[in-house]
Copies of this chain bind each other. A is one copy, B any other.
Amino acid sequence: MEVEILVVGNEILIGKTQDTNSNWMAKRIAKYGHRLKRITTIGDELDLISSTLQNILKRKPDIIITSGGIGPTFDDMTLEGIAKGLNRKLELNEHAYNTIKKVYERAYKRGLLKLEGMTNERKKMAYLPQGATPLPNTVGTAPGVKISEKDAIIFILPGVPAEMKAMFRNVITPILKEKQGKFIERSFLFSGIGESQIAPYITRLEEKYPQLWIKTHPRIGLSVEVEVSITCFNVDNGEELVNKALNEARTIVLNLNGKIKE
Binding site for B on A (CB under 8 A): 7, 10-20, 22-30, 35-44, 55, 71-75, 103-104, 107, 112-115, 119-122, 137, 139-141, 160, 162-163, 183, 185, 192-197, 199-200, 202-203, 206, 213-224, 229, 231, 256-258
Chain B proximity of A229: nearest CB distance (Å): 7
Q: Is the CB of A196 within 8 A of B115?
A: yes
Question: Is the Cβ of B23 less than 8 Å from the Cβ of A140?
Answer: no
In the complex where A14-B36, A115-B193 touch, is A107 in contact with B229 (Cβ < 8 A)?
no
Specify the main secondary structure of chain A where it touches its partner: mixed
A217 contacts which of B11, B203, B214, B220 (Cβ < 8 Å)?
B11
Please tell me if the beta carbons of A185 and B14 are within 8 angstroms of each other in the complex.
yes
Q: What residues on B are CB-neighbors of A137 within 8 Å?
A: 221
User: Is A160 a contact partner of B72 (Cβ separation < 8 A)?
Assistant: no
Docked pose: A261 CA to B197 CA in angstroms: 55
Are A23 and B14 touching (Cβ within 8 A)? no
Question: Given contacts A38-B41, A213-B10, A221-B163, is CB(A229)–CB(B193) below 8 Å?
Answer: no
Query: Known contacts A114-B197, A115-B194, A119-B200; can you find 9 more A-B pairs with CB under 8 A?
Result: A15-B27, A19-B22, A38-B41, A113-B223, A119-B197, A121-B200, A122-B196, A140-B223, A162-B221
Nearest B residue to A187 via CB reads: B16
Asked if B223 contacts A141 (CB within 8 A), the reply is yes
